[in-house]
Amino acid sequence: MAAKEELDTLGVVDEDTVEYFLEDPGLSGEFAYEVMTRSNGNIITVKNVHINGVKRTNNALLTDAVKDVFGVMTLGQLRGIANAAKAKLALLGVFSEVELVLDRDETDPTAIQVEFYVVEKGLLQTEAKATAGKTQGQAEFSLSLTNLSGNADNFDLKYTRSSSQGNSVEASYTYPVEGSVHFPLTFGAYQANDDLPGSKHSQVARGIFASYDTHSSVGQHNLRYELGWHTLKLGESPSFALRREAGHSMKSSLRHTAMIDLMNDDMTRGAVLKTTNELAGFGGGSCFLKNTLELAHRLTSHGFELQTTLRAGLIHSLVPGFASRAAGYLLSPSSTAPAPDGPVHDMNKVRILDRFFLGGGSDLRGFLLRSVGPTAGADAMGGNTYWASCLQLHTPLPYRPWREKFGASLRPNIFINAGSCFNRATTASGAASIANALLRPDAVSWGVGLTFRAGRTQLELNYCFPLLTRGAEANSGLQFAIGLSLF
């Protein structure tokens, strides 16, 4: 009788489990049949679990990852729990390879030996990558010390240099709170020297931060506290409004980022939602509440892909010290609750470094970088409200040999996008100003081009045709850009 038929006759495992053990190299169908017949269909036990190849990783992390394997009672349970343990070992982020092998125990007919074979990552990991666009090129170098103390912790050092926007360096230490890289607690410091296009100024930003990542039933979350010291330096012939922004400033803020990913496994349809809420005012000169939203939807049918994106943001200026007094009120409810606003939307309380800017190949196609929105002379000053949307259709390559060779990553596209960036205080009040901006966008363009994708990185070469340029600087013709996609 064939191994599958013999397993079926035992009546103790379902069809899926039978197929799994026949196909799994870690436990062949013949071995499964032997275990079941030797135990006469009774409960099986896991006698030992061995993890081979460990050199630096803490035993407590490994024990926590595989402890559930000892509770299996049937081959069906072993199927799921052993692979779950394998996944937990992989999620520690310290192994480059994790293999699972199940073996018989010669002394006990109902026992199985579970063996994991792992290869630890080296202590030192390095990476270098470069990107290029029409107006700038960027190089990034990173150095990581992985599994530094044996607790799946990492020290990372990252240096980024841009041909037009300066350079930055960031150092951080990450400790997985629950023994998983999906729940890291990170402490770090940074310094960035930026030349900001569209305005006659540059900035030096220094700061420290602490962040924590976690998951919930509604998606991924990141909570980050940051204390920053910014220095804004003026270039030649700055406007008076820009002169007011010059000098040193401090910002202490708490930011929450949430992402809900509803894409299917092959990334052909679904949606992604990302929200960010930042409260500044725990000391320093910046005091505001900043809310941003990004929504992307993708639908694929017969090789055609329709993608819709929407981004929007609002900044609400607050009375200086409001955040600190609000925190004190929460801790001591008997105190007087703080007033939420001083002069409504006073942009003097929101530094130029925190305002919204719009325009550019990876932002609003068909317009120059930071050219959409409020200006002072030739200087882009940014706004407290913005929105941008894009409707884009990707089509298959026209010839079958091209589709077979490049179709997975390279596709023609046609798009139309629109957006506005403005200050609510200078247009109208409340919802009326937002409704007016939605009905009368500052910039609209359409175009055709090619899109190349590698993971979440998206590179585009488009020919753009601006349709509406209300105060914005158009950039008709070829536009080359690289950026990150939500998908």
Residue 337 resides in a domain: yes
- Dihedral of CA atoms 40, 44, 45, 46 in degrees, nearest 10, equals 110
Q: Are strands 45-52 and 111-120 parallel, antiparallel or unpaired?
A: parallel
Name the domain boundary from 120, 150, 178: 120
Q: Both ends of the chain: CA-CA distance in Å?
A: 50
Q: Diameter of the chain by CA atoms?
A: 90
Is 269 contained in some domain? yes
201 and 116 part of one domain: no
Ordered mean pLDDT values, 10 residues apiece, the chain (487 residues): 43 41 47 52 75 90 87 78 89 89 77 89 85 59 91 92 80 84 88 76 92 88 95 86 88 95 83 95 86 94 90 87 56 51 53 89 84 87 92 88 78 93 67 70 92 77 90 84 60
Asked if residue 184 is part of any domain, the answer here is: no
How high is the pLDDT of residue 237? 82
> Is 146 a member of any domain?
no
**Strands, DSSP E only, in 181-301?**
184-196, 201-216, 219-234, 247-261, 270-284, 288-301
What integer pLDDT is reported at residue 455 of this predicted model?
65
Same structural domain, 421 and 301: yes
Tell me if 376 is assigned to some domain: yes
| Cβ–Cβ under 8 Å, residues 65 and 89 | yes
Q: Quote the domain boundaries for residue 83.
A: 3-120
Do 214 and 311 fall into the same domain? yes
Same domain, 210 and 109: no
CA distance linking residue 223 with residue 278, whole number of Å: 10
The residue among 66, 96, 120 that closes a domain is 120
Regarding whether 98 and 213 lie in a shared domain, the answer is no
Boundary-marking domain end, from 88, 103, 120:
120
Global model pTM greater than 0.85: no
Are both 380 and 238 inside the same structural domain? yes
DSSP 121: P
Judge whether 405 lies within some domain. yes
Q: What are the two backbone dihedrals, phi and then psi, of residue 346, each rounded to the nearest 5 degrees?
A: -75, 105
- Tokens 């924590």 correspond to 212
Q: Measuring CA to CA, which residue among 339, 343, 349, 419 is closest to residue 385?
A: 419
Do residues 104 and 223 share a domain? no
* Amino acid 328: pLDDT: 57
CATH number assigned to the domain comprising residue 235: 2.40.160.50
User: Residues of 200-234 as b/e, b for ≥16 C-beta within 10 angstroms?
Assistant: bbbbebebebebebeeeeeeeebebebbbebebeb
Domain of residue 62, CATH code: 3.10.20.310
**Total domains present in the chain:** 2
Residue 260 amino acid letter:
I
**Is residue 441 situated within a structural domain?**
yes
Do both 383 and 260 map to the same domain? yes
Provide the token pair at 8: 């079926």
Answer whether residue 141 is part of any domain: no
My answer on whether 209 and 108 are in the same domain is no
Same domain membership, residue 206 and residue 116:
no
What is the per-residue pLDDT across 337-347, written as a single tens digit (0 to 9) for each?
Answer: 454 444 344 55
Q: 146-158 pLDDT, tens per residue?
A: 999 898 899 999 9
